[in-house]
Amino acid sequence: MVHALGAQASVTALARKDASLRKASFKENKNISFNKLWIPLSSANLKSGSSAAMHHLKVLSMSVSQATQRKTLVQPLELENAKEPPLNLYKPKEPYTATIVSVESLVGPKAPGETCHIVINHEGNVPYWEGQSYGIIPPGENPKKPGLPHNVRLYSIASTRYGDSFDGKTASLCVRRAVYYDPETGKEDASKNGVCSNFLCDSKPGDKIQITGPSGKIMLLPEDDPNATHIMIATGTGVAPFRGYLRRIFMEDVPTYKFGGLAWLFLGVANSDSLLYDDEFSSYLKTFPDNFRYDKALSREQQNKNGGKMYVQDKIEEYSDEIFKLLDGGAHIYFCGLKGMMPGIQDTLKRVAGQRGENWDAKLTQLKKNKQWHVEVY
């Protein structure tokens, strides 16, 4: 799984204005309600017509947990009718041509690397479920196969099936720009930069993009028990599917899915400027304190109990007793991010299990058998 998170220097002024509006709305209003500021302004001009798009921004009141919360109406509700997730509607030889809606910066100036939130208009023709992925085929010729297109790159979708405009016509990607620096000179070597991530991060509204899929069933959000516990562990852009989960759980008014359980997100990044979708997650924490927990591991700003860098596995160890009890009670646990995250996490869980007098290998086998264990790494 390829993820690239990047912020494009030439993001349009309109997108910048929209980003500042959304951030300002959190600072000025402590009683957050999810309203039209969550919609990229440029997405209001989709081919379907801005009036239709704005129609879906109506805010309804509903009861969640012990408080009355405001959620956003979503359409079309037919997207709830399918019994199975859509799979491979478009394949590499016949991809779907979608349109870039917006490219928006996600991180601050001190983040090590560039980041983008990219919204794609698929006109409702490439539906997906939360936790699935799109394939992207960057333009140009495959250097290893002259005359043929580039290989497909997979990206976890960072939005719900209704998209950021809540109308079922868009999908969002969380993309890190892959840049290569020569170890000897320290200078960027553009010839070795990530082809697809740089294409995406350099895209402008209106640009065309070839997509395949959707694909994947491992990371689907189980909804058979609306009171279930979901423990989500992400490093960097691995937060993409969890952003989709949490918008569905806490932001959208989905008549057939009323969440009353616990969603617990662990997010590991380098520093505060690297946090992704932090405004969204922090707002859920304030608005749904009984149903959401949010823990950050900032490796360059925090220390673990031994004085070393704080990684996501250190946060897991910090709450290990509670996590193990939740897993024993049927909680689902999800991991998404760089493949290198898993050995450290597995070692931590194995050590904690041993301290509790449990056999981790046997426990892991049982978790997989119960379909409580969900992993997607790249």
The residues carrying an active-site annotation are: 155-156, 336, 376, 378
Contacts of 11 (CB under 8 A, 6+ apart): 103, 104, 105, 116
Give one DSSP letter per residue of 208-274, joined into a string: EEEEEEEE-STT----S-TT-EEEEEEEGGGGHHHHHHHIIIIIEE-TT----SEEEEEEEESSGGG
Exposed, middle or buried by CB within 10 Å (0-12, 13-18, 19+), for 319? Answer: middle
Give one DSSP letter per residue of 161-223, joined into a string: TTTTTTSSSEEEEEEE----B-TTT--B-GGGS-HHHHHHHT--TT-EEEEEEEE-STT----
Other residues' Cβ atoms within 10 Å of the Cβ of residue 144? 8
Structural tokens at position 192: 């070795």
| Residue given tokens 């960057």 in the structure block | 138
- Closest Cα to residue 266, out of 286, 302, 244, 239? 239
| Residue given tokens 């616990």 in the structure block | 262
CA–CA distance, 191 with 124 (Å, rounded to integer) = 36
CA–CA distance, 81 with 283 (Å, rounded to integer) = 30
CA–CA distance, 278 with 63 (Å, rounded to integer) = 24
Q: Which helix (H) or strand (E) holds 327?
A: helix 320-328
Query: What angle is formed at CA 248 by the lines to CA 7 and CA 207, rounded to 5 degrees?
Result: 35
CA–CA distance, 89 with 162 (Å, rounded to integer) = 17
